[in-house]
Amino acid sequence: MVCKCGKKTYYKRKYEGIELCKKCFVKSIEKKIKRNIRKNKLLSKNDNICVALSGGKDSISCLYVLNEIVKKRKDMKIFAIAIDEGIGEYRKKTLNKAKEFCKMMNIPLKLYSFKEEFAKNLPEILKNEKLNACTYCGVLRRYLLNKKARENKATKLAFGFNLNDEAESIFLNFIFGNLDKFLRLGPKVENKEIKKFVPRIKPLREIPEEEIFAYCDALNLPYYPKKRCPYGKESVRKTIRKFLYELEEKYPGSLFQIVKFADLLIPSLRKEFYKKGKIKYCKICGEPSSRKICKVCELLANPEMTRTA
């Protein structure tokens, strides 16, 4: 078989039963992303878009596509933020890819580190702590990304979450019965009542992980090929990831159906269960929080852990 245009097959899309040449494949990916942006109103006029950039294939693809859109718009701006957690050679290599890409595309890149913001890097934070690395890292990264995006006057904070990531999160919250986090899933997360919260968007949400790899390779985009952080250990999420991979292999299109079903449920469940409480800000740092003291300040409450001014 060959692509419908007659050219040599580059990618076989099992869930659609079609084969695509390199050019048609790239075009189809960008068409899906732009459709997601239009359908869910992820972008608006005069947006200043901040992309959370790690140097991996997802964030690189996200930044590339959004930059292509912004280049055609006089009213929009774009920049990237990278966070250095201090994870040895792994983070050095991913950041090098992030810097290489931004230089190649002439995109402003702003770099921040745990060491500068929290006085210690991740290995130092974990030295005498019982919590796993992902607990600390995830909370601190999200905190910094929102804070720094806001300080740089971003109107949107874009993440490179793909279809697999979203399906994993749906299952994870279902297994742990975390309704609050489940209701926060979706292509766009915003709260207009919280002035300090930068709306988050997921342009790649409808693109399978395998296709992100193929997209980067088709365009020769530089990205760090290693999939997982060295701190990543066996976890429920990894078990879910493996299960969903096997499910998709046996029944192509399963991931789309999982996300589609969640999208049908969430709006109704939000009306039924989502309680609109008084908007809170952390007493210590002043950042948005659902309680008096935010999770970051709680994690950093250890006497040996002090935040820099």
Question: Six-digit token pair at 296?
Answer: 């970051």
Strand 11-13 with 77-84, pairing = unpaired
pLDDT at residue number 129: 61
Whether residue 78 lies inside any domain: the answer is yes
Question: Six-digit token pair at 189?
Answer: 């997360």
On whether the CB atoms of residues 52 and 110 are closer than 8 A, the answer is no
Whether residue 122 lies inside any domain: the answer is yes
Whether residue 129 lies inside any domain: the answer is yes
Pick from 263, 206, 254, 208: nearest CA to 32:
206
3-state secondary structure 224-284: CCCCCCCCCCCCHHHHHHHHHHHHHHHCCCHHHHHHHHHHHHHHHHHHHHCCCCCCEECCC
Question: Six-digit token pair at 260?
Answer: 């589609």
d(CA 285, CA 113): 17
pLDDT at residue number 43: 98
Token pair 């596509």 in the structure block, residue: 65
On whether the CB atoms of residues 211 and 30 are closer than 8 A, the answer is no
Directed axis angle between helix 57-71 and helix 22-39, to 10°?
80
Q: What pTM does this model have?
A: 0.92
d(CA 8, CA 51): 34
Q: Which residues of the chain have pLDDT under 70?
A: 128-132, 227-228, 230-234, 274-279, 302-309
Whether residue 35 lies inside any domain: the answer is no
Whether residue 287 lies inside any domain: the answer is no
d(CA 169, CA 176): 11
Which helix (H) or strand (E) segment is 20 a member of? strand 18-20
pLDDT at residue number 233: 65
pLDDT at residue number 223: 93
Whether residue 1 lies inside any domain: the answer is no
Q: What percent of the chain has pLDDT over 70?
A: 91
Directed axis angle between helix 163-175 and helix 236-250, to 10°?
120
Specify the length of the chain in residues.
309
The secondary structure of residue 120, as a DSSP letter, is S
Token pair 């990618």 in the structure block, residue: 11
CATH code (residue 268): 3.40.50.620
On whether the CB atoms of residues 47 and 79 are closer than 8 A, the answer is no
Whether residue 181 lies inside any domain: the answer is yes
How many domains does the chain fold into?
1
d(CA 29, CA 27): 6
On whether the CB atoms of residues 36 and 260 are closer than 8 A, the answer is no
Question: Six-digit token pair at 70?
Answer: 């912004």
d(CA 51, CA 156): 8
Domain ranges, residue 76? 43-275
Residues near 261 by beta carbon (within 8 Å), at least 6 away in sequence: none
